[in-house]
Structure 1
Amino acid sequence: MCGRFAVTLPDDAMAALFDALAANDLPDVPNYNVCPTNQISVVTSDEGTRRLRPMRWGFLPHWYKTPNGGPLLINARSETIAEKPAFKAACRERRCLITCTGFYEWTKTPEGQRLPWYIYRADGAPMVFAGVWQDWRARDDSGDEFTTTAIVTCAANDPMSKIHHRMPVVLEPDDWGKWLGEEGKGAATLMRPAADDVLDYFRVDPAVNSNRAAGAQLIEPLDPSEI
């Protein structure tokens, strides 16, 4: 699963990373505490032209009458994405890339205290998730319209399973074109856990337990004396 993440890469660097044309209304970065329903920067491909675009994190199926018309769909399970009514069309036709510096996951003590962990690429490179997206328009008089997205998740690899049983699908650069549909079929083969040596993690301050927390200190390793 992925319920919170951090983005520190500037817009121009993100566009260069993907060789994408950047929109002029991208969300502000850095953001060390990206939460569901926030706007995030997402890469799509239109006939081979990649575009870096803002989207609402929280997928809205077309039948939702309002943004709160059903469960908040921030993740899509790889095992069922091709069959679930909410995601099956997007899985075939509207795949995207979502980049971050790292993401957060939580474990619990026997007493129920939530302990946050920060997960990042061991090689220091930006992390890129598989995603799907959907345009949505309100079915009432509000006139609301959103372009929305969800992160694809899979079973955790062995290191990640010590923290959580799920993890985002992490794509390597050679896989980006296939996931975006630029290289024909085969995207389904990419929905697998990252190799065991791709990610690393450390404990961070419980301040990030609040979705209002902000600042670079959120991704700093917790002092061993405080663990």
Structure 2
Amino acid sequence: MCGRYATTVDPSLLAVEIDALDETDPEEALLPEEAGPNYNVAPTTKVLTVVARHDRDSPDDEPQRRIRRMRWGLVPRWTKPAEPGVPAKGKPLFNARADKAATTPAFRDALKYKRCLVPMDGWFEWLTEPGPNGKAVKTPFFMTPADGSRIYMAGLWSVWRDSHTESAPLLSCTILTTDAVGELARIHDRMPLIMESRHWDSWLDPDHEAPADLLVPPGEDVIAGLELRPVSDRVNSVKNNAAELLEPVDPGKAPVGEQISLL
């Protein structure tokens, strides 16, 4: 699974990096961690995503990559409003199994024509081991490219509108997961679906369904480029958000912190 990650890139820089249009709104009201580097991204946070869409004025043109902010936790388009302009609360759909998305009502429409990329510096996962008192001990790890580059995860997105109001539409997304590969399986049995740059155009294509071979776990050669870094258990609390959360620690000397909460 992927319930926590880190991202430090500015949308304008990201747009230049991947040849995309920056469609984020500089006037949008954001939390401090949403407007700048976020070292402890949690579900329901607004995050940066990459989509490919046609220009509304020139629908026959080639689709263009676009940077957009979306709520992490997909809200299906058919969700009923709880109050005017506000979707009813439900299970936070921040992850979707890649092997079941095509048959899951909440994800199957998005998988066809609303696929995205979620850029990040890396993601967190917890290794569970038996402790000296028989209680499980959870050690957080940060999985990140060893060369310091950025990593892009496959995601799905949705647009929710309240047809009874003129409120702005809500864009939301989820991150696809697969069986863990290689050394990652030692820490957790699931992992986010890493999308290699050579597959971006096919994955983002809004006019064609996703090739089935892009929904399988990545090869071990992709995983070999990752560093699996033990980090402080301060990351367990979403209240903690600083660069020190990404620094390596000796797991045997890490202090016992707060309980893990993904929300």
TM-score scaled to structure 2, two decimals? Answer: 0.79
Matched, 1:155 2:179: yes
| Of 201-210 and 139-148, the range deviating more from structure 2 | 139-148
Shift of 1:175: 0.8
Q: Which ranges of structure 1 fall in alignment gaps of 5 or more residues?
A: none
Q: Summarize deviations over 1:107-146 as a string: whole Å, max 9, x none.
A: 2232223321100123321010001100012477795741
Question: Any residues of structure 2 matched to 1:193-208 within 5 Å, and which?
Answer: 193-196=217-220, 197-208=224-235
Aligned position for 1:80: 100
Shift of 1:148: 0.4
Identify which of 35, 51, 59 aligns with 2:74: 59
Q: Summarize deviations over 1:10-47 as a string: whole Å, max 9, x none.
A: 22221122211112426422110111000001111113
| Of 119-128 and 201-210, the range deviating more from structure 2 | 119-128
Aligned position for 2:30: none
Distance in 1, Cα, partners of 2:121 & 2:70: 18
The 3 A distance-change label for structure 1 pair 142 and 214 is: farther
Matched, 1:44 2:51: yes
Identify which of 42, 55, 64 aligns with 1:35: 42
Residue type of the alignment partner of 1:198: G
**Which of 1 and 2 has greater Rg?**
2
8 Å contact from structure 1 (residues 181, 187) kept in 2:
no
Q: Which ranges of structure 2 fall in alignment gaps of 5 or more residues?
A: 27-33, 55-62, 255-263
Question: What fraction of aligned residue pairs are identical, expressed as a percent?
Answer: 36
Shift of 1:166: 0.7
Aligned position for 2:25: 25
Matched, 1:96 2:116: yes
Distance in 2, Cα, partners of 1:122 & 1:184: 34
Matched, 1:10 2:30: no
8 Å contact from structure 1 (residues 64, 70) kept in 2:
no
TM-score scaled to structure 1, two decimals? Answer: 0.91
- Count the aligned residue pairs: 227
Aligned position for 1:189: 213
Shift of 1:224: 6.0
Distance in 1, Cα, partners of 2:41 & 2:106: 23
1:125 alignment partner, SS class: coil
1:150 alignment partner, SS class: strand
